[in-house]
Amino acid sequence: MPLVEINFDGIVGPTHNYAGLSLGNLASARNAGAVAHPRAAALQGIEKMRSNLALGLAQGILLPHRRPNETWLARLGATVESADPTLLANACSASPMWAANAATVSPAPDTGDGRCHLTVANLATMPHRSHEWPETLAQLRLAFADSRHFAVHDPVPPPFGDEGAANHMRLTASHGAPGIEVFVYGKAGGAFPARQHAQASAAVARLHRLDPARVMLVQQSEEAIAAGAFHNDVVAVANEGVLFTHEQAFADSQGFYADLRAKLPEVQIVEVPASRISLEAAIRSYLFNAQLVTLPEGGMALVLPTDAKEVPGVWGWLEEMIAGNGPIRRLVPVDVRQSMANGGGPACLRLRVVADSATIDPRFLVDAEKLDRVAAVIAAEWPEDVTPADLASSLFRTPALAARKALLQLLALQELI
C-alpha cells in the first residue's frame, strides 16, 4: 500500500475552558476568564475534519485526556478538592486537543531503519501541558502499535523543552521520497519563553535515525516569539516542496533559504513580506497556522481559520497570492473560533503522519459515518458552557468524566478510560 498523508485531529475535550495558562500565547491571555463552549468547540473540530474528508484527505483522531488529571495532582501532594484554583486549572486543561504538540513525526523514507518514528513531546515549559505526555504516549502506542512499521519513543527528558510537530517541518519532492526535516528552535522572545530547545530538536533527529545531511536546525526569530509566535507553526508551514512563511519567522531567513535550496533545489518558497502583513496581523489572523495540503486532483490548498478574513489586509494578500498562479491554488476557510480563542488554529489541532493507513489501528481512523457517531456523543454529552470557576464543582467534573468515557466506549477504546 502507498504512503499517504493522514491528519490526526485532537477532539476537543469536555473541560475546554479559558484559564489563560499559556504565557506568550496572546489569545489565551486575552480571553482568560471568558465563558468557553466545549460542545461548540468539539463540533467545530468535527466540521473541520468533515471539510478535510470532503477534500479527499485521509483523517484520523486523537482522544481527550482524563481531566482533571488526579494522578498528576497526587504527585504534587494535592487532590481535586484541596488544589488551589490555579493548580486545579492546570490539572483540568483540555490542551491535548492541539495534536500538533503531541509528537514529532519522521516518515519511513527519512529514517535509518525504514520505519515511521514518533517521539512524544514533553511540553516541559508550561505546567498545564507538562503532564500530557503519558496519556499521549499511551494513545500513540495503540494507534501505531505495529513495530514493523512504527517506532514510538519516550519524550526527550527535561530540562530540554520539546513541543512536537509545531516546531518541525518536512519538505520533499513527494511524500514517498526522502525529505529534508527542518527543526525550528528558539533562544529568546522578549518577555516570553522560547519553548523549543535546540538540544531537544537534535535529540529527536538522532532518535529518529535521520541522515544528518538531510536535517536542518533553524532558529526562530526573537521578534516572532516576542510578538506571540510561541510555536513556529504560527509563522510558517510546509508541505512537500513548498514553504509558506512570514518574512520575520526565522533569525536568519536568507541563510535558511539558501541552505534549504542547496539541499532541495526544487523547493518553492512563498514569503509573505512584513510590509504587507505585519507579524501582529499574521499572529492575530493565524494565516500560517493552516494546513497546507496536497489535493488528490493535484495542486495545494491552504486550510485556514475564518478569522483570517477579519484582519485587515490579510485576505486581500491571500487572494493576490492565489491569482498569481503560484503553488497554493485554493483557500479553504474553516470555523474553529473556540480553539482560536485559546490560541490554536487549524494546524494546532492536527498531527500529520505520512504512513500506510493499513498499518494503523483503525479505531483511530475516521470516515464521515464515524464522525457522525462521534458528533452525536458530543452533542449529547459535552457541556455547553464552562467558566474557570466551574472546574472546582463536582457538578461539572463528574459529567465531564462521563462524557469522555462515553466517547471512548463508542470507539471501543476502553483501555484508555
Residues known to be catalytic: 163, 231, 348
CB-count exposure of residue 12 (10 Å: 0-12, 13-18, 19+): buried
Whether the ω angle into residue 333 lies within 30 degrees of 0, i.e. cis, is: no
- The answer to whether the beta carbons of residues 101 and 166 sit under 8 Å apart is yes
Closest CA to 31 of 345, 341, 245, 308: 341
Q: What is the DSSP letter of 167?
A: G
- Grid coordinates belonging to 29: 491571555
Q: What is the DSSP string of 261-288?
A: HHH-TT-EEEEEPTTTS-HHHHHHHTSS
28, 21 in Cβ contact below 8 A? yes
Show Cβ contacts of residue 267 under 8 Å, excluding neighbours closer than 6 positions: 171, 241, 242, 243, 260, 261
Cα–chain-centroid distance for residue 211? 25
If one counts every other C-beta atom within 10 angstroms of the C-beta of residue 1, the result is: 8
Going by their DSSP bridges, the two strands 300-305 and 291-294 should be labelled as antiparallel
146 burial (CB, 10 Å; 0-12 / 13-18 / 19+) is middle
- 246: nearest Cα among 279, 203, 207: 279
Interacting residues of 298 by C-beta distance below 8 A, sequence separation 6+:
none
Residues 6 or more apart whose Cβ sits within 8 Å of residue 100: 164, 165, 166, 231, 233, 347, 348, 349, 350, 351
Tell me how far apart the alpha carbons of residues 16 and 372 are, in angstroms, rounded to a whole number.
Answer: 21
Q: Would you say 246 and 278 are in contact if contact means Cβ atoms under 8 Å apart?
A: no
For 82-195, strand residue ranges (E) read 103-106, 116-120, 150-153, 168-171, 180-185
The set of residues, in sequence order, having a beta carbon less than 8 Å from that of 370 and lying 6+ positions away, is none
CB 153, CB 141: distance < 8 Å: no
